[in-house]
Amino acid sequence: MKTPIPGGFLVAVEGIDGTGKSTVAAATPRRQAASRVEAKKAVAQFIGKPLRNNDSFTAILSGNSLAKMLSKSAIHKSVNQKSHLAAVANADQLFVNATREESKSDRAGDANIAAIHRYFAPMLFGEEVLLVKFTVKEITTAPNLLYTIETLKIEKPDRSSSKNEVERVDDTEAARQTFQSGFSKPLQQKIEAVKKEMDQKHL
């Protein structure tokens, strides 16, 4: 169920086309955030405004979700604090280019939540390509919510895997930073497009 766009307003992200094609420009954070205060200031530009993904799914970032994203526990789950703050500060840009990898029912059985979606987008962090994971709540009676955000290291896809999903290996400190293989083809193509363009720039 798609939630109507309040007022018909959408945040436009310059330099990203509607096809969701990933390039270095699309994956490079446009805003800097060295602290939680700076990240919060950056998000003020789009908080509460509808953000439309390339698959036409629309969601907003609320004040409550932002507080959760900037909590110590949320930052701890990411690769490091700097990449986490960069992802939060550029959530609008990154969500536009994200790929939906998983959808499931709310495990608490909340009737107001139609589904929980996981979206992933490549983000250039220094010379490394990371993944940004969005957890999005599809709400039946209100705007959909960007609920959590996390940065992850990319592991080379395991060609022998038959699963078309991304899953956590375990919850150790090392494994927390790396997801297993099984990325969907569209997501793999986005990641490879960014890496290829970066390689060409270094020639």
Residue at 183 is within a domain: yes
Average pLDDT over residues 57-82: 97
Residue at 31 is within a domain: yes
Q: Which of 14-18, 112-116, 151-155, 175-179 has the highest mean pLDDT?
A: 112-116
Q: Is 6 left (phi over 0), alpha (psi -120 to 50) or beta?
A: beta
Assign 52 to helix, strand or coil: strand
Average pLDDT over residues 93-120: 95
Q: What is the pTM of this model?
A: 0.78
For the chain, how many structural domains are there in total?
1
Residue at 37 is within a domain: yes
Residue at 3 is within a domain: no
Residue at 105 is within a domain: yes
Residue 80 — very low, low, confident or very high, per pLDDT cuts 50/70/90? Answer: very high
Residue at 51 is within a domain: yes
Is 90 exceeded by the pLDDT of residue 101?
yes
| Separation between Cα atoms, residue 127 and residue 194, nearest integer Å | 11
Average pLDDT over residues 7-24: 46
| Residue span of the structural domain in which 109 resides | 12-154+166-201
Residue at 196 is within a domain: yes
Q: Which of 18-22, 61-65, 170-174 has the highest mean pLDDT?
A: 61-65
